[in-house]
Amino acid sequence: MATKHIDFTQIKDLRERARENKLIPDYTANFFKKAFVKAEGKIRERPRSLYAIDSIPYWIRSITKEDTIKKSFGPTLNSYPKITFDKEVGPKDQDAEFITFGHPLFESVLEWISRNFSGDLQKGACFIDHSGQLDGTILFFEGAINDGTGRVAGKRLFSYYVDSKTNSVEYIQPTILWDLQESQSKNSTTVDLDALKSKVQSEVIQTLRSYQKELLEERTRQSEIKEKYGIESLQKLIFNHDSDLLQLKARKEAGDNVDLAIRNKEERQRQYMDNKKDLEDLIKREKSLTLNTPTFLGIIEVIPPNVIQDEMRENTVSEKAAMDVTMKYEASHGRTPRDVSKIIGPGYDVKSIDKDGNTRYIEVKGRVGVGAVALSKNEWFKAKQLGDDYYLYVVWNTKDYPQTELTPLIIQNPSTNLNPKLNIHYLVDASEIKEKSDGGS
Architecture of domain 24-119: 2-Layer Sandwich (3.30)
Give me the DSSP letters along 187-251: ------HHHHHHHHHHHHHHHHHHHHHHHHHHHHHHHHHHIIIIIHHHHHHHHHHHHHHHHHHHH
Cα gap 22→16, rounded to integer Å: 10
Cis peptide before 346 (omega within 30 of 0): no
172 alpha carbon, distance to own chain's centre? 13
Q: Percent of the chain, pLDDT > 90? A: 67
Tell me the average pLDDT across 45-61.
94
Distances (CA, A) of 201 to 122, 170, 198, 208: 17, 11, 5, 11
What are the sequence ranges of the domains in the chain?
24-119, 120-215+292-303, 218-290, 310-436
Tens-digit pLDDT profile for residues 195-210: 999 999 999 999 999 9
Radius of gyration of the chain (CA): 28
Q: Confirm or reject CATH 3.40.1350.10 for domain 310-436, answering yes or no.
A: yes
Distances (CA, A) of 377 to 22, 132, 176, 197, 380: 16, 16, 9, 28, 5
What are the φ and ψ backbone dihedral angles of 343, each rounded to 5 degrees? -85, 105
Q: Are 425 and 374 in contact (CB under 8 A)?
A: yes
Tens-digit pLDDT profile for residues 124-139: 889 999 888 899 999 9
Tens-digit pLDDT profile for residues 358-408: 999 999 999 999 999 999 888 999 999 999 999 999 999 999 999 999 999
Cα gap 349→343, rounded to integer Å: 8
Cα gap 36→99, rounded to integer Å: 13
Mean model confidence pLDDT for the chain:
89
Q: Are 203 and 160 in contact (CB under 8 A)?
A: yes
At 253 the three-state DSSP class reads helix
The neighbouring-strand residues paired with 140 are 159, 298
Region class of 3: left (phi > 0), else alpha (psi between -120 and 50), else beta = alpha
pTM to 2 decimal places: 0.77
Region class of 405: left (phi > 0), else alpha (psi between -120 and 50), else beta = beta
Q: Are 327 and 339 in contact (CB under 8 A)?
A: yes
Tell me the average pLDDT across 42-64.
94
173 alpha carbon, distance to own chain's centre? 10
In the prediction, which pLDDT does 416 show?
Answer: 94
Terminal CA-CA length for the chain: 39
Tens-digit pLDDT profile for residues 81-109: 999 999 888 778 889 999 999 999 999 99
